[in-house]
Structure 1
């Protein structure tokens, strides 16, 4: 017999959607989803069907014995996860890099902000594209101030750092493989 509470939570998490987002999507309260997932409430077939439509699943898919994780493909701006701190904001596509081969970020550097005094060094490669503002990129003994429309690509085993040399904010899109 299928445990509806555990199965719903697993299906929701596999879809990469929060309880609050699912509730908003299907027009029920966050508490309704929470109570079902805790096993404190059994949904009617109609309510379960409505919730599953929000996860883009059929009732047959829900009750299948083997759960096939559903890959989340599309991300809205409010679904990006802030993995930065301080004057540099790193918005990551996806809640985690576990099992991923690439980390994709939208980065914001306040005027004068940097990745710190110590250079970064890690396995892999990095690439980025400046959307607005200016960013000084230092890789080994090479340093250059990049403007909007310019980019970089390097082996990240070489010590590197980033600094906004302008008082204006800088926005970039970057990728790192494997995830850092």
Structure 2
């Protein structure tokens, strides 16, 4: 079977645009309603849905929270757009770079596979910092962070954790979350996300 190519930056923006628009439509929400629920301006949401903006990780996280899904799910294609396969080759995996912090995220999980579990690989630059307002999520997402290289500092509410290579931290995202890299070297880590809201959106394969 021929391997698929990884989506380009333009493809990623198109995917995000379609996912945000489809999720909003499925919830029967207007642009104004989503703006109120997410804290992202109506004009910015409109630009994102037309693939005319390069939103930051913070903006995408706010939108995902407002739509009731994980941020990772915004990068995946719809079931109608791509067949479901249990294998995602390295060369096929979607990569996205945050225009603000420079952090690079790779969606590792096979697209559209019917599971609430999502894996993301992150390359985090030295001295980078990203702050998420995750407390808006209901219900809160569960995730685990496994550091492969370097070190990162994770602050959930008032709890601060310094993670080094090999460390794994389990989190319930019910408070504001901050990732930072205090060192002069880049870090790499895996995030495992349990997004129960994703399961109803994707039907399992027929038997």
Q: TM-score, normalised on structure 2?
A: 0.48
Q: How far did residue 97 of structure 1 move?
A: 6.1
Match for residue 112 of structure 1 among 127, 148, 152: 127
- For the 8 Å contact 1:110–1:170, the answer to whether it is kept is yes
| Aligned residue among 59, 63, 81 for 2:94 | 81
Q: Distance in 2 between matches of 1:175 and 1:19?
A: 21
1:159 and 2:173 correspond:
no
Between 1:82-91 and 1:161-170, the stretch displaced more is 82-91
CA 1:73–1:97 in 2, change beyond 3 Å: closer, same or farther?
closer
Q: Which has the higher helix share?
A: 2
Determine if the alignment matches structure 1 residue 92 to structure 2 residue 107: yes
SS of 2:129's equivalent in the other structure is coil
Higher alpha-carbon Rg: 1
Which structure 1 residue ranges, 5 or more long, are not aligned?
Answer: 1-11, 21-68
TM-score normalised by length of structure 1: 0.55
Q: How does 1:1-180 map to 2 (within 5 A)?
A: 17=4, 71-86=84-99, 87-94=102-109, 96=111, 100-116=115-131, 118-121=132-135, 122=137, 123-178=140-195
Q: Secondary structure at the match of 2:91?
A: helix
Match of 2:13 in 1: none
Q: Deviations over 1:16-38 (max 9, x none)?
A: 94599xxxxxxxxxxxxxxxxxx
> What's the secondary structure of 1:78's corresponding residue?
helix
Q: For 2:96 and 2:112, locate their aligned partners in 1 and report how far apart those are by CA, in whole Å.
A: 11
Q: How large is the Cα RMSD of the aligned pairs?
A: 3.2
**CA 1:111–1:75: 2 relative to 1, 3 Å:** same
Give 3-state SS (helix, strand or coil) of 2:183's partner. coil
